[in-house]
Amino acid sequence: MMKPFMKIHLSHPTRDIEIEGPKHVRDVFQELQLIPEGYLVIRGQDLVTEDELLADSDVIEIRPVISGGSERRP
Amino acid sequence: MKCRKCPARAVLRMPRHNTAFCSVCLTEFVRSQVQKAIKSQNMFSPNDRILVAVSGGKDSLTLWEILLKLGYRADALYVDQGIGTYSQGSREKVEQFTEQIAKPCGATLTIHNVEEEEGASIPDLANLVRRPTCSTCGTIKRYQFNQAAIQGGYDVMATGHNLDDEAARLLGNVLHWQEEYLQKQSPTLPASMEGFAKKVKPLYRLTEREIAAYAVINRIDYMVEECPMSKGAKMLVYKDVLNRLEAESPGTKHTFYWQFLAKQEKAQATHGSMTETDQTTLKPCTICSQPTSTGMCSYCKMVARANAPAQ
Ligand code: SF4
Ligand SMILES: [Zn+2]
Ligand SMILES: [Zn+2]
């Protein structure tokens, strides 16, 4: 039987992936080729920093924080 | 990683300030930045009535929450654009926030429904007048927010524009040397003439990431999905570029925008202000009397075109 990996929820577009742990947040960013400045990492309900170690049992959301249409002025 | 201000665990690293905060210290930091923005840019005082433009997204709901928590008198307006499930979802978030957080503080929400008031949803209107959806949307939102602020007797209208929005817009304006827009990039725009509400951006000192972190920590349930029309928008490209620069040298975004503000302040002292320019170039719209440079304002033109019989 395959051992369950950590579950990661992503948006824009919405999708769920699995990554093998344990792994530091910053390495997950690298693996997914994302820039930390554009995202928050939420474990359960709590924010975690890039040096946090994520385990296979964790449920993670990597939430984009960049928003905006092309409207010119307020 | 530890918080730099107390022994608690850090939840957000902030390279531009060379620091990291726990949830309590981050909340305090964000609120104090908003308070600083309000004071230093003469946005409003505790007695003023504020109308917040809310969309259901993180910035506007966070702004509304902070103003209420700081004790300001802030109501909100939501414009329902009729953009399918996106509008439905964001409207639900706004209504839920109103029930749970705003109402207990004595604040109210007004909803403007574009389909009911203008006769068609934003995408349909855009089709009718053959203009891009976002520019149609922008015209309507700008018009309705201003109108609601004036008619409701509010002292000032507040929007959730943040540091990333302003830096990205500045980059776009500079790349195309659109100097006429540069004048309008201040965090405080005066009610330059009758028919215009004063407009302020109390989140201009905060990045999107700091604001989103505040929302998560304080359990503000916002619409994470984006408006489907924003796909491929230039603004997103500018933001991405700025974030890459920021990763290389933290502080790039705020230096870029804040230095611009400092220079602009000096330039206005010698070259005259936006108020003077507006008063010499704008006249009341012949239909609705909101100030415009073209006889009939762009909103009234659009509504007239949308309602003209098909040829
Ligand atoms: S992306 Fe365009 S259509 Fe959607 S809310 Fe923003 S301006 Fe309006
Ligand atoms: Zn702390
Ligand atoms: Zn008009």
| Cα(B262)–Cα(A9) distance, integer angstroms | 41
Q: Cα(B220) to centroid of ligand 1, in Å?
A: 22
| Cα(B191)–Cα(B150) distance, integer angstroms | 10
Contact B224 A49 (CB under 8 A): no
Q: Cα(B227) to centroid of ligand 1, in Å?
A: 6
The closest-lying atom of ligand 1 relative to the alpha carbon of residue B122 is: 3
Range A6-64: architecture per CATH: Roll (3.10)
Sheet containing A59-64, strands listed edge to edge, beginning at the edge strand earlier in sequence: A15-19, A6-10, A59-64, A39-43, A46-47
A36-66 burial, b at 16+ Cβ within 10 Å, e below that, comes to bbbbbbbbeeebbbbebebeeebebbbbbbb
Domain that holds residue B271: 36-222+230-306
Q: Is B95 within a domain?
A: yes
- For chain A, the structural domain boundaries read 6-64
Asked whether B135 lines ligand 1 (CB < 6 A), one says: no
String of DSSP letters for B296-311: S-HHHHHHHHHHSPP-
Condensed to tens digits (0 to 9), the pLDDT of residues B246-271 reads 999 999 999 999 999 999 888 877 66
Dihedral in degrees, nearest 10, Cα atoms B160, B163, B166, B172? -130
Residue A69 has pLDDT above 60, yes or no: no
In the block, tokens 């980059």 appear at: B171
Q: Cα(B196) to centroid of ligand 2, in Å?
A: 42
| Cα(B141)–Cα(B114) distance, integer angstroms | 9
User: What is the number of structural domains in chain B?
Assistant: 1
Tokens representing B212 are 């989103």
ipTM for the complex shown:
0.91
Left if phi > 0, otherwise alpha if psi is -120 to 50, otherwise beta: which for B260?
A: alpha
Closest C-alpha among B240, B194, B160 to residue A64: B240
Contact A36 B244 (CB under 8 A): no
Condensed to tens digits (0 to 9), the pLDDT of residues B26-71 reads 999 999 999 999 999 999 999 999 999 999 999 999 999 999 999 9
- Residue pairs between chains A and B whose CB atoms are closer than 8 Å: 102
Question: How confident is the prediction for chain B on average, in pLDDT?
Answer: 94
